[in-house]
């Protein structure tokens, strides 16, 4: 992603929580200012149990209700539920493929991976998938080329 947007640094995920954190940031950013999410991120990380997948996947309805009122997070119940569902899906895929990176690389390329991510994970659209894959250092097309392939005007502000 171009640095003109203040794009995040790429990471080398060391554990499943790294993947869930990046994916969840994409979920929270959907329809919101990325700056708002970035500013709240340390508090979100704390409230969401460090995005440890088993901890997030096991959140109860009562705990979700408490989170939806917690000022540390983006209090969108649908997004919070999506993150819990995404954690469950991620744990399952991690086990099925002997690692989440293996799952990501099992689709024969970027388009196949994006298609499967969008089917399996909630609140993850085209840009969210691109962002997620870029940050976790998977192969993605050049941002300008990706925008052009989707008919998206690439802004430089």
Domain range annotation of the chain:
14-148
CATH class in words for 14-148: mainly alpha
pTM: 0.91
Residue 126 Cα distances to 17, 113, 147, angstroms? 22, 11, 10
Rounded Cα distance between 135 and 138, Å, is 8
End-to-end CA distance of the chain: 13
pLDDT tens, position by position, for the chain (157 residues)? Answer: 443 345 678 999 999 999 999 999 999 999 988 899 999 999 999 999 999 999 999 999 999 999 999 999 999 999 999 999 999 999 999 999 999 999 999 999 999 999 999 999 999 999 999 999 999 999 999 988 888 988 887 655 4
Give pLDDT, residue 103: 98
**DSSP 3-state helix, strand, coil percentages of the chain (rounded to 5)?**
65, 0, 35
């Amino acid at each position: 992603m171009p640095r003109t947007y203040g794009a995040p640094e790429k990471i080398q995920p060391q554990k499943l929580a790294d993947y869930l954190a990046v994916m969840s940031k994409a979920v929270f950013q959907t329809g919101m200012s990325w700056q708002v999410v970035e500013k709240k991120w340390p508090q979100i990380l704390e409230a969401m149990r460090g995005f440890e997948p088993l901890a997030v996947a096991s959140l109860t309805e009562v705990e979700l209700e408490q989170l939806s009122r917690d000022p540390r997070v983006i209090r969108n119940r649908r997004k919070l539920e999506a993150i819990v569902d995404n954690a469950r899906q991620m744990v399952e895929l991690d086990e099925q493929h002997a690692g989440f990176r293996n799952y990501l690389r099992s689709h024969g390329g970027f388009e196949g991976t994006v298609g499967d991510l969008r089917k399996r994970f909630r609140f993850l659209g085209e840009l969210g998938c691109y962002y997620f894959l870029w940050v976790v250092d998977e192969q993605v097309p050049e941002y300008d080329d990706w925008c052009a392939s989707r008919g998206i005007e690439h802004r430089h502000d």
